[in-house]
């Protein structure tokens, strides 16, 4: 494992993108950063700019309006980049499956590396999902 990848796995920077969800998953992603769960223990930082981020955490169903913005933000992220779909809506459209303005899941628009089901998932489940993704990437190298 190169030193670059080693450091990348020890300190993944996250970008949070809400594609039009109900806020349930967003407050759980935010709760994962606050003292009770403290995601920063793992070196994770929530970044504002896509150009700084390694992992994009997407919550919510992808609406027609937000699709192009989502793709654009994804393209701005440097390689290698990973996408985590948090919550039922991002995984598959969830309760909004079949609505006329909603794509059936994030993987209809972007390649997704990990799915964290739940409506919303507990902060522990989000930590578990991100950790599982990092472990898988570490094992691959």
Partner 1 sequence: MSFSSSYERFFDIPIGPQHPALKEPILLRLIVEGEHVVAADVDVSYTHRGVERAMQERNYIQNIYLAERICGICNVAHTLCYCQNIEGLYDVEIPSRALYIRVLVEELARIHSHLLWLGVAAHEIGFDTLFMYIWRDRERVMDLIEEITGNRVTSAINTIGGVRRDIKPETCDRCLKAMDYLEERIKYYKKVCEIDPTVIARCAGVGILKPKDAIRLCAVGPTLRASNIKNDVRADDPYAVHDEVPFNVIVYDTNDTLARVLVRIDEMLESINMVRYCIEHMPSGPVRVRLKLSPPVGEHLSRVEAPRGELIHYVKSNGTEKPERYKVRTPTFGNIPALCEMLTSKGDYVVNIADVPIAFASIDPCLSCTARVVMLDREKEKLWVGSLDRLRRWRGWG
Partner 2 sequence: MNEEDVVSRLKEAFGDKVSEFKTAPRRVFFYTPPEHYKEVVRFLAEKLGFVHLQAITATDLGDEIEVMPHLGRGLTVSVRTRVPKDKPVVDSVVDVIPGASVHEREAHDMLGVEFRGNPNLTRILLPEDWPKGVYPLRREAKLAPPKPIRGGKE
Partner 3 sequence: MAMLLEVFKHLFKKRATLMYPFGDREKIPVPEGLRGKISFNRDLCIGCGLCARFCPSGAAELVEDEKGKRPIFHIDRCLFCAQCEEVCPRKAITLTKTFEIAGFDRSNLVVK
Interacting residues toward partner 3 by CB under 8 A = 35-38, 41, 88, 91-95, 97-98, 105, 107, 113-119, 121-122, 124-125, 127-129, 131-133, 136
CB nearer partner 3, residue 47 or residue 97? 97
Q: Can you say whether residue 6 is alpha, beta or left, with left for phi > 0 and alpha for psi between -120 and 50 degrees?
A: alpha
Q: Is 88 within 8 Å of 61 (Cβ atoms)? A: no
DSSP state of 78: P
Pattern of binders to partner 1 over 86-125, x per CB under 8 A? ---x----xxx-xxxxx----------------xx-x---
Please state the closest distance from residue 84 (CB atom) to partner 1, in A: 16
Q: How far apart are CA 118 and CA 28, in angstroms?
A: 11
What's the rounded Cα separation, in Å, for the pair 12 and 111?
18
**What is the smallest separation between the CB atom of 25 and partner 1, expressed in angstroms?**
7
**Spatial separation of the C-alpha atoms in residues 32 and 133, rounded to whole Å:** 16
111, interface contact from partner 2, partner 3, partner 1, none, CB < 5-8 Å by kind: partner 2
Rounded distance, CA 116 to CA 97, Å? Answer: 17
Q: Which residues bind partner 1 (CB under 8 A)?
A: 16-28, 30-31, 34-36, 47-50, 60-61, 63, 65-66, 69, 73, 89, 94-96, 98-102, 119-120, 122
């Amino acid at each position: 494992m190169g030193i670059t990848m080693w450091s990348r796995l020890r300190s993944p920077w996250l970008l949070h993108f809400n594609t039009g969800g109900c806020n349930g998953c967003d407050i759980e992603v935010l709760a994962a950063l606050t003292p009770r769960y403290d995601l920063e223990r793992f070196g994770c930082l929530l970044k504002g700019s896509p150009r700084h981020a390694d992992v994009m955490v997407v919550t919510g169903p992808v609406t027609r309006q937000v699709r192009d913005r989502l793709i654009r933000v994804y393209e701005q992220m440097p390689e290698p980049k990973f996408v985590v779909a948090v919550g039922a809506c991002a995984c598959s459209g969830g309760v909004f499956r079949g609505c006329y303005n909603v794509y059936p899941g994030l993987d209809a628009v972007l390649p997704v590396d990990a799915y964290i089901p739940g409506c919303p998932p507990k902060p522990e489940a989000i930590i578990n999902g991100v950790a599982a993704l990092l472990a898988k990437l570490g094992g691959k190298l």
